[in-house]
Structure 1
Amino acid sequence: MNIYHYTSIKNLALILESKKMKFTRLDNVNDPYDGTVNDYESSQKLVYVSCFTKREDDSLPMWSMYTNNMNGVRIKFGHNLFGEIENKFWNGTAARERTINYFGGDENTVIFGPILIEYKSNVNDIQCSIISEGPGLKLFDPLRIGLYKLDDWSFEEEVRYKILSFNAMIGGPREGSVFEEKMEQVKEYIYEDIKWILVDLYEPALKKAEILLGPKVDEADEIIIRALVEKYLPSIKVTKSEKKVV
């Protein structure tokens, strides 16, 4: 599966120079409901996402929303842009591990994805529960955060990668205080000052990327883009959108 990322020329320069992609904490994305749940108030602050689309056609709404009035680019990647899948976590979600921990400590960071967003008709449907109860047991599952969005966003056909600020499910007896005490510890993994993180792109995947110039990229900006590509990643193919806008 190929995926696509719409962005500005300035952000393209940062991506090519650093060979990194930004993951944004869910309380800082453009959809205020993204990552909200009905049983944990701070859910958005536990998850960081990097967002793409699986739409193969270049979309005027996407150009308009994410590329500085259509004067930007769309980058095409393979699904392995953060590395090859190494494991399966929680309900078969694809994942790869990194030895660098972006939040301190000595545990590896897990990158989950690609995850296809599911779209729902109302807020109650997207605000799922992440605390479940079984026979004598309660379970807190943070991987369920950020899986759903409202139908208003369905035109994006979003695919995302996700990093949790801690890589664990939390379980405990339904009776007594053990589970509640563990849930108090979750607050330690809310990093108020870390609103985004930069993650290394997988070099082989980056070399196979392609760039599509936006409908309003003029001759001067095209020269800038091609110069950036030539300097940092000359293997990338550059073409221009055929969409016509005034």
Structure 2
Amino acid sequence: MSDILYHYCSIETLELILKNKTFRFSSLGIVDDMEEALTSDFEDIGRICFVSCWTDLTQESVEMWRTYTGGKNGVRVGISKNLFKFDLDEKGIPLPSHKIMEENDVFISPPYSPQLIPITYTKDDDLINPSVGKTANDICNNCGRKESNLILQTNYLGRFKREYWSGQSEWRYKLIAVPKEYYRNNERGKYLNGDPKDMTELMKSDLINMVFNNDYIDFPFNKFALDQIEVILSPLNSAEDNKRVEELIKNHTNNATVKPSSLKMRK
């Protein structure tokens, strides 16, 4: 694949990206494909998967201009796929991730930062709605009591869509984030006192019914990426819209380029 990926968004979203130096990751519970959060054994547990959606199509897409810019005005941002590369702390955790986990009261699964994956388009229902739960009953090393372990296998979450979405040629950055309340419950021993089978069901119920502070996570990107972006102006923009974009780029970047669309479209 090319080193460059593309992201369609409104001018308002572009302004937030440039000012905050973050990209928004949305829970699969709110993306346009309503099947994405569903699993065969854990209801809509796919909500723990947060994604930022991109495409590798270098040619502009009429569909994406209308769908992902609000159909009024917008831009297509082209940027290096390495924008989420960070220095690590002594435990191997990317430096921005600590703040993200604290602010959102979530625990991000290893490797603790966005991972880039291609979307696979398929007819296979087992991939569209995968089984994600695995249970094991063990003996606690400290107290000798039976305990239940519930493991979520999250590799398939956010990776597969039905073939009729294939025109998007989508790549996405993916985070797995679980509310810290679930881990606090574990630390308090909520899932230790009782029959292992009942405790496993309690874990499952708590996970399915958990509540996030937000249905999105704003993750920072490397600032170097700002000076390398290429912005294509939507063919639906007015002259005033284009002027606004040019001012934003001038105020927030050093070497970024702005180009007109190669398309002619009616609003």
TM-score by length of 1: 0.81
The correspondence for 1:191, drawn from 187, 198, 211, is: 211
Alignment of 1:17-166 (within 5 A): 17-69=19-71, 71-84=73-86, 98-100=97-99, 101=101, 102-104=103-105, 110-121=112-123, 123-132=125-134, 139-166=151-178
- Taking a change above 3 Å as real, the CA distance of residues 51 and 231 of structure 1, as seen in their structure-2 partners, is same
Correspondence for 1:210: 230
Correspondence for 1:92: none
- Taking a change above 3 Å as real, the CA distance of residues 131 and 122 of structure 1, as seen in their structure-2 partners, is same
Instruction: For residue 142 of structure 1, give the secondary structure of its aligned residue in structure 2.
Output: coil
Identity %: 25
Aligned residues: 233
Correspondence for 1:226: 246
In structure 1, distance between residues paired with 2:135 and 2:106 = 30
Instruction: For residue 51 of structure 1, give the secondary structure of its aligned residue in structure 2.
Output: strand
Correspondence for 1:172: none
Correspondence for 1:242: 262
5+ unaligned residues in a row in structure 1: which ranges? 87-94, 168-174
Task: Note if contact 1:85-1:96 (Cα within 8 Å) is conserved in structure 2.
Answer: yes
TM-score by length of 2: 0.75
CA positional deviation for 1:209: 1.1
5+ unaligned residues in a row in structure 2: which ranges? 139-148, 180-194
Instruction: For residue 35 of structure 2, give the secondary structure of its aligned residue in structure 1.
Output: coil
- Root mean square deviation, CA, Å: 3.2
Q: Which has the larger radius of gyration?
A: 2
- Taking a change above 3 Å as real, the CA distance of residues 50 and 140 of structure 1, as seen in their structure-2 partners, is same
